[in-house]
Amino acid sequence: MSIHEDHDDLTSDSAATIFEPRLWRDKGWTAKVIKNEDDDGWAVAMTLEGEAEPALVGPWTMGRNKKDPKPLDVNAFNTLVKTASEVIRRHEQQLQAQLHKQITVSCAQGRVTVSLDIEPDEEQPRARLSAHDEGGDLLADCAAPLSFKLDRASATAWADGGFQRPEGTER
């Protein structure tokens, strides 16, 4: 669905609660029923307060006259809030999974948990590699290249190699 909609009006005066047939604002969310430019139907955009872009855009039901959209109501709004919140939660989980990886391996030191943490920064992103023993004590912590791929083989090789700073790491 392509939506060419100016969303500035969704975040201005965000404290006001609105319950209109095509616009609801409550609980920090705004639901706005809009014309779907891809076909003759309607769509609903769910925007979290303070955000410029909708977290969720989906099809919206036609009304009884098969021309106008069905008006928003409390049940629909609550379902949309739940769905849009879940979309945001999954996005955050995916981002966290990309920025933090952890694997436990068996090596000469015993069972070791190796972690790779990426600190996203527009100017200078960094990666840190660390290792902890079974008791949670820190065995090693050093910078790693952003290109470092953490898997069972690389974790075992790093541990068995004495936790040396990986090649390609800037100091």
**Max intra-chain CA distance, the chain:** 73
- Say if 2 falls within a structural domain: no
Find all residues with CB under 8 Å of 169, minimum gap 6, and list them. Answer: 142, 143, 144, 145
**pLDDT-based confidence at 4, cuts 50/70/90?**
very low
**pLDDT-based confidence at 170, cuts 50/70/90?**
low
Q: Are residue 22 and residue 68 in the same domain, yes or no? A: yes
- Say if 114 falls within a structural domain: yes
Residue indicated by tokens 């009304």: 63
Whether the predicted model's global pTM rises above the 0.75 cut = no
Q: pLDDT tens digits for 84-114?
A: 999 999 999 999 988 999 999 998 889 999 9
Around 58, how many Cα atoms within 13 Å sit in the side-chain half-sphere?
A: 13
Query: What's the number of domains the chain is made of?
Result: 2
Domain range spanning residue 153?
99-160
- Say if 145 falls within a structural domain: yes
Measured between alpha carbons, how far is 57 from 80 in angstroms, rounded to an integer? Answer: 10
Q: Are residue 18 and residue 68 in the same domain, yes or no? A: yes
Which pLDDT belongs to residue 109? 85
pLDDT, the chain, mean: 89
Helix H or strand E encompassing 162: none
Indicate whether 154 pLDDT > 60: yes
Q: Residue 42: what residue type?
A: W
